[in-house]
Amino acid sequence: MADFLHDGWSLYIAIITLASLAACAVLLKLMSTRKLVPGEKPGTTGHVWDEDLEEWHNPMPRWWMWLFYITIVFSLVYLALYPGLGAWGGYLGWTSAGEYREEQKQAAARFGPVIDRFLQQDVLKVAADPEAREIGQRLFLNYCAQCHGSDAGGSRGYPSLRDADWLWGGSPDAIRTTLLEGRKGMMPPMGAALGGSEDVRDVTHHVLSLSGRTHDGLRAQRGRAKFAANCAACHGAEGKGNPLLGAPNLSDDIWLHGGTEAAIAETIIKGRVNEMPAHKGFLDEGKIHLLTAYLLGISGQAAR
């Protein structure tokens, strides 16, 4: 792909663009210069449909022709003023990035004082403020809903943010750190370490038993030792999880990748990798503060 960054491609695109406009003008000229002698009947193109419907070779109406010429002139003026001819930026120097930065400046001037006012307040107080919640919701819809859903309910592989189940902790500082730095959680594949398919099934049923799901008691009992030797280091002996590692609680019946026997077995065998992108440098402190407060509010953490 690096070849397409060469300056020659810019010249190639500019030539193709201008040649296309010139070809349109030539074609328009050729199609509109023929005039009928008074009394002469136009010929046909030779195309006939339904036995008697013929396509005639009539000259284009003058008003229609001039409309096409106007579009060509408009295109040339546009290409002179705005980007369109390869790397040529146009005489006005307009760019979409520049327009975006200008919109950001206007938004900062309009909403900056409001956000700064909330930034000076404690995050729990902000979480209880109706105006702050409304702003936080809009920020969430813009920056977070693509993964977690517009209702923050999540989906398979994307955690729900409406409950009190937090992989990395639900305190204000933990949520703020998650937003700023991002998170990367990994469950290593354990199929080979457990020894075989039967051992995987035993551990799977033990995991099912931790959350009170339907399970085979004998298999769950056999899987306990395997779980203690291979899984307890991250999830704890009772499967309560470890927020320091992002290891989920396996006893609360809340599942990120599904809680069926098949889904749990797949997780054990293949492992899982999940990543929450960092928003530091993309969102300023005020927006992070409001988002933290909003998440505390919708998850019920602010009331604790």
With contact defined as beta carbons under 8 Å apart, do 80 and 91 qualify?
A: yes
Q: 42-59: per-residue pLDDT in tens?
A: 677 777 888 778 877 776
Name 207's Cβ contacts closer than 8 Å, sequence gap at least 6. Answer: 223, 227, 239, 250, 264, 268
- Strands of the chain (E only): list them: 44-49, 53-56, 183-187, 272-276
**Residue 229: both structure tokens together:** 């030797």
With contact defined as beta carbons under 8 Å apart, do 251 and 239 qualify?
A: yes
Q: What range does the domain containing 68 cover?
A: 10-33+57-94
Q: What is the predicted pLDDT for the residue at 1?
A: 43
- Do 177 and 190 fall within a single domain? no
- Do 191 and 269 fall within a single domain? yes
Nearest Cα to Cα of residue 59 among 82, 86, 40? 40
- Do 88 and 221 fall within a single domain? no
- Do 110 and 248 fall within a single domain? no
- Do 129 and 17 fall within a single domain? no
CA 44, CA 55: separation in Å to the nearest integer? Answer: 6
Q: 189-214: per-residue pLDDT in tens?
A: 999 999 889 999 999 999 999 999 99
Mean pLDDT for all residues in the chain: 89
- Do 65 and 205 fall within a single domain? no
In this predicted structure, the answer to whether residue 3 has a pLDDT above a threshold of 60 is no
| β-bridge mates for residue 183, sequence order | 276
43 assigned to some structural domain:
no
Distances (CA, A) of 139 to 146, 147, 150, 208: 12, 14, 11, 37
With contact defined as beta carbons under 8 Å apart, do 286 and 115 qualify?
A: yes
CATH number at residue 214: 1.10.760.10
CA 217, CA 76: separation in Å to the nearest integer? Answer: 78
5 assigned to some structural domain:
no
121 assigned to some structural domain:
yes
Q: 140-163: per-residue pLDDT in tens?
A: 999 999 999 999 999 999 999 998
- Do 255 and 297 fall within a single domain? no
* pTM more than 0.75: no
- Do 285 and 171 fall within a single domain? yes
